[in-house]
Amino acid sequence: VRHKILELLREKKPSYISGEEMAAFLAVSRTSVWKSIQALQSDGYVIEGSPRLGYRLLIIPDHLYPAEITGNLHTKRIAVNREMIHHYHQVESTNTTLKNLADKDAPEGTIVVAEEQIGGRGRQGRFWLSPPEKGIWLSLLLRPPLPPQDTPVFTLLAAAAVAKSLKIILPELAVGIKWPNDLLINRRKVCGILTELKAEAEFLHYLVIGIGINVNFREKDFTPELRKIATSLYLENGRKNVSRQRLTSVLLNELDKSYTELLSDGPRSIIGQWKKDNITLGKRVVVKNVREAFEGKAVDLNEDGSLIVEGKNGIRKHFHAGEVTLVPMNGG
Ligand code: BTN
């Protein structure tokens, strides 16, 4: 009933619709209409009630409710119906929640979004700060018919899709991808991606791609240490709030497009898109992994997603994992 009431209010906005009319139209009792209105109000919808005129919807909260996102989707595989978007006000980590759903056979394209994560996870066991309503904390479930070795390209795909979405919504911002999947604006990180998988040596059960975007953080929402290396869309966008609902639907559309393309044409176009938006290739870098810290020039991205770095003596190394630091060159 609640969704239907919301639809009616939305259609009538900014005018009133009477409780009686809604009850008759949906063939439910007046009490049930009233209960739905109360539930919507406690979800943050501002609905004005007038004894004579009925109800009208004044403000739609910028929460990532499925009903606010699906309307703008034209996806084929991802979040193709409202039931495939699981929204929570607070979770430990959307990746963890989605892995549990995946273990219970949730279909490909299932999404988990949360307003807040209290145990948000970053790469290499780090903590990911995820305060309420300040960002997009989203995980996507994919079950591609590919071997586990092919998974790095999915992380590149996600990074390229976020970059594209940000360009659509905020065309003035210079967003760049640092290998493999950090998004930076003015050298500060605005988005990170954590891909987790369940696989056997030869068989991939599923992939969970976790995307965290710092959307409406003010300075005070970061810790002082984080503020040195991180930023938000709000801060980079002349201190204007960015709609998380709009960004989420644009992002889901882009992810869907790229994933469909990857399945039909292979990784080439993903690699191309990634390269177009990257700020790593051509730069002097230090790549740290478990074994070493290697300094050199990032010369290319391999078809499998690995980074090719050329050291001083001309030796080229392929990195499949690691942490890249961009080394400022002479003159910046
Ligand atoms: C990184 O270290 O750069 C990766 C950060 C990934 C954060 C996202 S937020 C949604 C999803 N749930 C998590 O716990 N982590 C990812």
Q: For residue 329, what pLDDT is reported?
A: 72
Residue 330 confidence (pLDDT): 62
CA of 124 from ligand 1 middle (Å) equals: 11
Tell me, in angstroms, the distance from the centre of ligand 1 to residue 301's CA: 23
Distance CA 8, CA 28 (A): 14
What gap in Å lies between CA 81 and CA 73, rounded to an integer?
Answer: 9
Say whether pLDDT at 206 is over 50: yes
Residue 105 has pLDDT above 80, yes or no: yes
Pocket test for ligand 1, best of 90, 127, 179, 194 (most atoms within 8 A of CB): 194
pLDDT higher than threshold 60 for residue 185: yes
In this prediction, residue 328 carries a pLDDT of 82
What pTM was estimated for this model as a whole? 0.93
pLDDT, tens digit (0-9, with 9 covering 90-100), for 267-320: 999 999 999 999 999 999 999 998 899 999 999 999 899 999 999 899 999 999
pLDDT at 124: 87
Structure confidence by residue, pLDDT tens digits, 54-85 = 999 999 999 999 999 998 999 999 999 999 99
Determine the distance separating the centroid of ligand 1 and the alpha carbon of 73, expressed in angstroms.
23
Instruction: Give me the residue label for tokens 């219970």.
Output: 104
- State whether the beta carbon of 117 lies less than 6 angstroms from ligand 1: yes
Residues 232-257: pLDDT tens digits?
A: 999 999 999 999 999 999 999 999 99
Pair of tokens at residue 231 = 């930023």
Q: Of 97, 96, 109, which is closest to residue 140 (Cα–Cα)?
A: 109
Segment 177-196 shows an average pLDDT of 96
